[in-house]
Amino acid sequence: MATVDVTIMGAGAFGLSVAFACARRGATVRVIEKRRVGAGSSGGIVGALAPHTPERWNAKKAFQFESLMMAPAFWAEAERLSGLSSGYARCGRLQPIADAHALAIARDRAVQAEELWQGKARWRVVGLSDHAGWAPHSPTGMLIHDTLSARLHPARACAALAGAIVALGGEIVTGAEAEDMGPPGRAVVWATGHEGLAALTHALGRPVGDGVKGQALLLAHDRRDRPQLFADALHFVAHADGTLAVGSTSERAFSGPDTTDDQLDALHARAVAAVPQIADAPILQRWAGVRPRAKSRAPLLGPHPDRPGHFVANGGFKIGFGMAPKVAQVMAELVLEGRDTIPDAFRLDASP
């Protein structure tokens, strides 16, 4: 067996993406996952790659924008190498506009998007009639339509990344623990989700982050060629297989990480109120998982605080897949080349 250059602990969105980026640069990688590929929130069903609003620009928004621009090539290469679909498509997004004040803000953001999105995507105010038959209820009769939002199918995207890593000579080891990472001296990247955030909190003696549970639904409602919707804080993501994912709840307190309950029934009622077209759509799947939320609400990237030669890539929360291509790039540069281009706000020592 070839000598392993990089070991990645965790086979979720960040872990697999970092492994993929390292393998593409010629490194031999091993991914160790104690459960399965895409365990936890990375194996979900929603997959909304939605941008931050184009205003009050900062390093986090710029990083995410660059990552969303990298996404088409990133996912196309993973699909080519693996022969599996990630479900990626840049389909855009529609959002309702509640009142005159929100309408004024939306129009101002449209102006700012022209500069901040560099002409590569648009944020426009449009009428409901422009999207007849597939639009959320909007009190003003107006919608925000952005062309930057994209979708993918999280579980399938993880499978595509895993297949691409293997095609590049890497190894995926499931059902293994940290003790199986091999002899010391290898670079190790910890991308272990909310459990990893808890471990960092314990190691540092201060809050670093925690897990936020989300529950979501998968419906039989074919809108595969239409934009995703965002209404009443819910994402409606139409997948290429003719299903529609709706989610999710945000639960800071929970008893079971992957169990569903009546909160999902309430979510369904809200979804139907916002998008009446789905009222009769059969429910195919009820899903739950825990997302890693850093206290800073930004990804945590960089050297591990108390393990020389180890690194952290965690805290994707609701934007993990959208951030993944750029996270993978900067972590591969750091781990393999010693080149540090991580934004200061993403560093573990900058976490409040």
Q: What is the CATH number of domain 6-89+149-209+295-350?
A: 3.50.50.60
| pLDDT score recorded for residue 335 | 96
| pLDDT score recorded for residue 2 | 56
State the average pLDDT over residues 123-152: 95
User: What are the pLDDT digits (tens) for 177-195?
Assistant: 765 555 556 899 999 999 9
What band does 306 get if pLDDT is binned at 50, 70 and 90?
A: confident
Q: In the chain, what is the greatest distance between 2 CA atoms, to the nearest angstrom?
A: 64
Q: Which CATH superfamily is domain 211-291 in?
A: D-Amino Acid Oxidase, subunit A, domain 2 (3.30.9.10)
CA 51 – CA 235 distance, rounded (Å): 13
Looking at the chain, the whole-number percentage of residues with pLDDT higher than 70 is: 96
- Fill in the amino acid letter for 346: F
User: What are the pLDDT digits (tens) for 287-304?
Assistant: 999 999 999 889 999 999
- Fill in the amino acid letter for 204: L
- Across-strand partners of 290? 213
State the average pLDDT over residues 23-41: 93
Domain ranges, ordered by start, for the chain? 6-89+149-209+295-350, 93-147, 211-291
Examine the pLDDT at 1 and tell me if it is beyond 50: no
**Whole-structure pTM over 0.75, yes or no?**
yes
Query: Is 211-291 in the same CATH topology as 6-89+149-209+295-350?
Result: no
The residues, ordered by sequence, that sit 6+ positions from 236 with a Cβ below 8 Å of its Cβ are 136, 228, 229, 230, 244, 245, 246, 271, 275, 278
